Structure 1
Amino acid sequence: MTERATAPVRVFIVDDSALVRQVLNQCLNDHPRIRVIGMAADPLYAIEKMRRDWPDVLVLDIEMPRMDGLTFLRQIMAERPTPTIICSTLTEAGTDLNLQALAAGAVGVFTKARLGLRQSLENLASGLIRSIEEAARTRPVLLPLSQAKEKTSALPATPSKTTERIVTLGCSTGGTQALEFILRQLPRDCPGIVIVQHMPARFTADFARRLNSLCQIEVREARHLDRVHSGLALLAPGGLHMQLKRSGAHYLVEVLDGPAVNRHKPSVDVLFRSAARHAGGNALGIIMTGMGDDGARGLLSMREQGAATVAQDEASCIVFGMPKEAIRLGAAQAVEPLTRLPALIAQFSDNPRAS
């Protein structure tokens, strides 16, 4: 019998509850491809142990003594980016902490029950194990800081003029950080943007509101038959597909239910294929960080219909999965770092082939 080719994922648990540490340790160590290499009751104890043996994946609580989990996560991501999964009683559906954790660099968020904690953790175990294995395949990177200023009330209203130029963005793991970096730098006269980010239904509205508060452009969750126009970015609702349609001189989005495509709903492929059909050479398609291959074939369809197409480069991706597949298929005309994407989008309103 040959030795296993893949070493187990090495996990460190930070949680102030001894019961949580005990149950997670048992659940995770029972899995043959995961090994818990250490535990700590708070981040300051954790960092001492981690520096002696750095983990592949960090499982982190938020509410802890001496330092809260989000502060620790931001510190880790600034000093030594590490795939991190938040597991907390505070990250209930709809709370801003979910978005803060993702924006800080977490690759997953799990909510522990306040009552029946042991049973709750055991019920979470299979999903947590799957997320740990996926997290181990990610590569967190230090994202450059945006120079954009926060929106102020003195800014003029979003222009209502429709643009014939359309930008489509597709991303998954790591996309929340990448989208914030891009959208915060866009001017208010940038072309209309439609976005699919793989994200559960309960997250997308809050994520759009967060982006809207940070950006000069308007950002919101898409509604069925919304018009797409300059200065506006529409985010596909979690749990629904979004596709582009043309109505006369204007573009609209259709928000529809349906089966998952490439295991995702919303699916990047659904958006990109609709852009290929209805926008053709008036569209710019950008596929960004994410696991799997959703969007790669759709981007190829866009290129075949005359659209400009770009893939994010490996060095700036958290997960070089979706862009890698698009490049392999010949779907991307250009491969660009994240830092170049805001300028490409801003230029596209004047020149659809700007590069």
Structure 2
Amino acid sequence: MSIKVLVVDDSPLIRGVLTEILNAAPDIKVVGTAEDAHDARDKIKSLNPDVLTLDIEMPGMNGISFLKNLMRLRPMPVVMVSTLTAEGAPATLKALEYGAVDYLAKPKVDVANALNHYKDELHEKVRVAASARVRAKTEKAISANVSHLIKLDSLTYLPNHVITIGASTGGTEAIKEVVKLLPTNCPPVVVTQHIPAAFSTSFAARLNENAKVTVHEATHGQKLVKGNVYIAPGDDHLTISRTIDGYICRLDKDAPVNRHRPAVDKLFDSVAVATKGRATGVLLTGMGADGAKGLLNLKNAGCHTIAQDEATSVVWGMPGAAVELNAAAQVLALQDITACMLKAASKAR
């Protein structure tokens, strides 16, 4: 059974190129195209696609407004296909907040040839989207987490402890839900999210606006301080090392690991070595297996390890791979992770 795709873009050229690229996959079939939100709404009803590819900038109702309405009325998997620039990053992050599963860069020049370079990536993202867990937004899970954290205000954290988090597809929102409830006295948190270089600055700034703690895009040599979160820049591996003054961030452009830079495994491995077991590792939603072996290395080093459960993951690839390796001491719903990782980092565990 082929994955049915509806391509939504105001450019006839882009619609044609995306249709050709997607139809080249034996298990994907473009069942229709739409030039604007009104056209898309009608064709979703008549064609019942499994996945939507959606541009952000369209005439009339833009892609973000259309997506917001769609996810409220008829939640379905959406892959944003739009120009990924630093200026456009907030809009794409907003699309992920509203429920888009993933995104792909639309090149600015020589569109037809350039898009063909992303053919395999687009096929993979559509396949993942087709199997992703897409649901309407609710406040229930967030409220549950708040009730947990009320009891954690007076925790005393273990000295020289670090919390480390890895994520990919669906991770920008999952990380936000974990970070937004962290108390200002929590141990330092280092994070690798698979994200383009143009997005990481906006992602860190957006997290900072939603959190009590201070969130940074990590810089080379930056010292880890309690009550602070450090996000790997897009296209840089983030690791940590121990100095006489404590832990510091290190950035490098070594070869991708598991096809990714930044890579979760690389961060987790460095935390296992630098902290000698004084860390808590958390692996959240994401496709692939990056971070699974790293989480196992953390566990073997004496660290407490947590994987997000299948029910609350957008894609249970990375955490699922960790569970298969028996790398996670706990497998938890997203709404329970903040409380449990803080307990693990405290003297109360």
Tell me the TM-score normalized by structure 1: 0.85
Are 1:321 and 2:317 counterparts? yes
User: Aligned equivalents of 1:82 and 1:280: distance in 2?
Assistant: 44
Aligned partners of 1:162 and 1:250 also within 8 Å: no
How far the C-alpha of 1:144 sits from its partner, in A, is 4.5
For 2:306, what is the secondary structure of its paired residue? strand
Contact 2:306–2:341, Cα closer than 8 Å, also in 1: no
Deviation string, structure 1 residues 136-166 (Cα, Å, up to 9, x no partner): 34333445444699xxxxxxxxxxx995221
1:242 matched to 2:235? The reply is: no
Tell me how many residue pairs correspond in the alignment.
334
Please say if residues 313 and 323 of structure 1, whose CA atoms lie closer than 8 Å, have aligned partners that are also in contact: yes
Selected match of 1:11 from 1, 5, 16 = 5
> Is 1:83 matched up with 2:77?
yes
Kindly indicate whether residue 111 of structure 2 is the aligned counterpart of residue 111 of structure 1: no
Q: Superposition pairs for residues 192-341 of structure 1, below 5 Å?
A: 192-248=188-244, 250-341=246-337
Contact 1:162 1:229 in 2 (8 A): no
How far apart, CA to CA, are the structure 2 residues paired with 1:116 and 1:294? Answer: 32
Distance, in Å, in 2 between the alignment partners of 1:223 and 1:352 is: 32
Cα deviation digits, residues 288-346 of structure 1 (max 9, x gap): 10111111111111111111111100000011011111111111011000001121234
- Relative to 1, partners in 2 of residues 1:180 and 1:36: Cα closer, same or farther, differing over 3 Å? same
CA distance in structure 1 between the partners assigned to 2:348 and 2:247 by the alignment:
16
Amino acid at match of 1:108: Y
| Aligned residue number for residue 156 of structure 1 | none
For 2:120 and 2:293, locate their aligned partners in 1 and report how far apart those are by CA, in whole Å.
31
SS at match of 2:267: helix
Match status 1:64 vs 2:90: no
Q: In 2 relative to 1, CA 326–257 (structure 1 residues): closer, same or farther, beyond 3 Å? A: same
Looking at structure 1, the residues matched to 259 and 332 of structure 2 have their Cα atoms a distance apart, in angstroms, of 27
State the AA in 2 paired with 1:212.
N
d(CA) in 2 for partners of 1:101, 1:253: 30
Q: Provide the rounded CA distance (Å) in 2 between the counterparts of 1:343 and 1:322.
A: 21
Pick closer, same or farther for the CA change 1:250–1:116 going to 2, 3 Å: closer
Q: CA RMSD in A?
A: 2.6
The change in CA–CA distance for 1:221 and 1:9 in structure 2 (over 3 A counts) is same
| Structure 1 residues 163 and 143, CA gap change in structure 2 (3 angstroms) | farther
1:92 paired with 2:85, answer yes
For structure 1, which segment, 257-266 or 135-144, has the greater mean C-alpha deviation from structure 2 after superposition? 135-144
Matched, 1:128 2:119: no
Q: Does the aligned pair in 1 maintain the 2:158–2:345 contact within 8 Å?
A: no
- Asked if 1:26 corresponds to 2:17, the answer is no
Identity %: 38
3-state DSSP of counterpart to 1:200: coil
Q: Structure 1 residue aligned with 2:186, among 186, 190, 195?
A: 190
CA distance in 2, matches of 1:303, 1:57: 37
Is the alpha carbon distance of 1:123 and 1:274 closer, same or farther for their aligned partners in structure 2, counting shifts above 3 Å?
A: closer
- Give the gaps of 5 or more residues in structure 1: 1-6, 150-160
C-alpha separation in 2, matches of 1:322 and 1:97: 26
Q: Which runs of 5+ in 2 are unaligned?
A: 147-156
Contact 1:13 1:21 in 2 (8 A): yes
Q: Decide whether aligned partners of structure 1 residues 88 and 263 sit closer, same or farther in structure 2, where only a CA change above 3 A counts.
A: closer
Deviations 1:259-296 (A, max 9, x none): 11111111111111111112133211011101111111
1:41 aligns to what? 35
What's the CA shift string for 1:120-147, capped at 9, x where partnerless?
A: 5556555433432343343334454446
| 8 Å CA contact 1:163, 1:192 repeated in 2 | no
